[in-house]
């Protein structure tokens, strides 16, 4: 079990050291006097810490600030190349894997296919092989590797690194961190849900720069949610918070793969096209729509196919009601929409906006913005790397008992 370390000089030293390192990491370039101001540490303590971090290769002194006349201050720089991370996103029939620096910038990436419902041991063996290949290809060695971040769909116990259930992968109780750790014994491994990884990328490079409280909704094959409160992801008891897709939209509605009925995911994602599309098909004899996946429904809706248009319209409405519930529950600054569905957002966002913007707060003239994520597709892998990096740079406050 993890226990909080006892208060001691060593603990205070560690906390100060990480405080300084994280200030430098956040600013990338910063003067000593600015670090002193932000950390509230005396110059002698700061000098000691900076010398120590420099010796370890985590930071270095570079050029000079070009500012304000007078004596020019030397700047301290975070050394983003002192190590690397591996970031992995496990999808239905492939995994994406990237090598990054310590700023979560992608150096190289690959997409590795596997068969649907492949056994976890098989996927882990492939993963290990690809990690070695990526390191070799980029002239890195194992000792450069500081951490591995793995993102997966489904319910994840992030403390234990276990994928408790992913219906998409057909996996139950897969101790993925432990399985990979048997092959790669000397590198820490962290596991989380896909959408929480994306939220880490938003916090670092996207909406989190302006907003402390936002919710991230991914729309596409399923419906994901990550809740950010005070710049921190809300994880819930075991890391399962955000199962927004499995809140009830229709009493006694479509059966869901989770075992409940009428879940929002059955109405506000690709599942709706499959559910409702089959029901409506006989009413639209002239439709050329055959496969009810997101891409095909969107493309047909763009061409004016009436069945596809109706499905898209209604899906947007359900999404709007779901988002209204989120706004009323969390009172966020913003709702950020991401996921593979946003490629076709012009087809459903108008309805989603119209409905969600009519909420409890709007009645009092308080607006909640609904925006699309500005991040690129690689945000998932950036997030996986940040999952590892953020852990590595956390002060070691806990001990194993
Ligand atoms: Zn469900």
Last residue in a domain, options 20, 50, 78? 78
> d(Cα 219, Cα 326) in Å, to the nearest integer?
14
Residue 367 shares a structural domain with residue 311: yes
- The pLDDT tens digits for 214-256 are 999 999 989 999 999 999 999 998 888 999 999 999 999 999 9
What distance in angstroms lies between residue 379's CA and the mean position of ligand 1's atoms? Answer: 26
What distance in angstroms lies between residue 314's CA and the mean position of ligand 1's atoms? Answer: 19
Residue 221 shares a structural domain with residue 362: yes
Residue-level pLDDT at 111? 97
What distance in angstroms lies between residue 283's CA and the mean position of ligand 1's atoms? Answer: 28
Residue 77: which pLDDT band, with cuts at 50, 70 and 90? very high
Residue 353 belongs to domain with CATH number:
3.30.420.40
Residue 290 shares a structural domain with residue 151: no
| Beta carbons within 10 angstroms of residue 156's beta carbon | 27
Residue 298: which pLDDT band, with cuts at 50, 70 and 90? very high
Pairing of strands 84-90, 94-100: antiparallel
What distance in angstroms lies between residue 54's CA and the mean position of ligand 1's atoms? Answer: 51
> d(Cα 390, Cα 16) in Å, to the nearest integer?
16
Residue 352 shares a structural domain with residue 293: yes
Residue 233 shares a structural domain with residue 149: no
Distances (CA, A) of 174 to 61, 119, 258: 45, 10, 17
Q: Specify the number of domains making up the chain.
A: 3
In this predicted structure, the answer to whether residue 66 has a pLDDT above a threshold of 80 is no
Residue 69 shares a structural domain with residue 126: no
What distance in angstroms lies between residue 248's CA and the mean position of ligand 1's atoms? Answer: 8
Residue 243 shares a structural domain with residue 353: yes
What distance in angstroms lies between residue 350's CA and the mean position of ligand 1's atoms? Answer: 25
> d(Cα 172, Cα 290) in Å, to the nearest integer?
32
For residues 340-360, average pLDDT: 95
For residues 120-137, average pLDDT: 96
What distance in angstroms lies between residue 266's CA and the mean position of ligand 1's atoms? Answer: 7
What distance in angstroms lies between residue 161's CA and the mean position of ligand 1's atoms? Answer: 23
- The pLDDT tens digits for 382-391 are 999 999 999 9
In this predicted structure, the answer to whether residue 2 has a pLDDT above a threshold of 70 is no
pTM for the full model? Answer: 0.91
What distance in angstroms lies between residue 258's CA and the mean position of ligand 1's atoms? Answer: 4
């Amino acid at each position: 079990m993890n226990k909080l370390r006892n208060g001691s000089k060593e603990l205070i030293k560690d906390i100060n050291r990480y405080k300084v390192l994280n200030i430098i990491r956040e600013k990338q370039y910063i003067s000593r006097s600015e670090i002193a101001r932000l950390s509230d540490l005396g110059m002698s303590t700061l000098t000691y810490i900076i010398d120590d971090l420099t010796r370890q290769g985590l930071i270095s002194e570079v050029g000079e600030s070009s500012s304000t006349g007078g004596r020019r201050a030397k700047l301290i720089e975070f050394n983003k190349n002192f190590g690397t991370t591996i970031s992995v996103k496990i999808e239905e029939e492939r995994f994406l894997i990237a090598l990054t620096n310590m700023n979560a910038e992608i150096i190289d990436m690959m997409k590795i296919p596997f068969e649907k419902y492949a056994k976890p041991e098989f996927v882990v063996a492939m993963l290990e092989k690809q990690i070695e290949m990526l390191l070799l290809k980029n002239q890195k060695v194992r000792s450069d590797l500081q951490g591995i971040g793995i993102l997966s769909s489904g319910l994840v116990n992030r403390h234990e690194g276990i994928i408790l259930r992913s219906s998409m992968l057909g996996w139950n109780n897969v101790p993925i961190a432990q399985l990979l750790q048997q092959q790669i014994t000397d590198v820490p491994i962290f596991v989380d849900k896909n959408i929480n990884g994306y939220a880490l990328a938003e916090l670092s490079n996207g909406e989190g720069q302006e907003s402390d409280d936002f919710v991230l909704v991914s729309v596409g094959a399923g419906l994901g949610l990550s809740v950010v409160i005070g710049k921190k992801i809300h994880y819930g008891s075991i890391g399962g918070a955000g199962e927004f897709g499995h809140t009830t939209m229709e009493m006694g509605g479509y059966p869901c793969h989770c075992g409940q009925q009428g879940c929002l995911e059955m109405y506000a994602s690709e599942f709706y096209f499959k559910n409702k599309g089959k029901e409506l098909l006989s009413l639209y004899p002239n439709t050329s729509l055959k496969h009810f996946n997101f891409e095909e429904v969107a493309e047909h809706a763009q061409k004016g196919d009436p069945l596809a248009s109706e499905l898209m319209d209604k899906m947007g409405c359900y999404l709007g009601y779901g988002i209204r519930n989120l706004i009323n529950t969390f009172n966020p600054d913003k709702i950020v929409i991401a996921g593979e569905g946003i490629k076709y957002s012009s087809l459903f966002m108008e309805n989603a906006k119209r409905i969600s913007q009519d909420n409890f707060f709007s009645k009092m003239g308080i607006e909640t913005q609904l925006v699309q994520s500005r991040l690129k597709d690689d945000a998932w892998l950036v997030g996986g790397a940040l999952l590892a990096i953020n852990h590595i740079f956390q002060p070691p406050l806990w001990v194993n008992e």
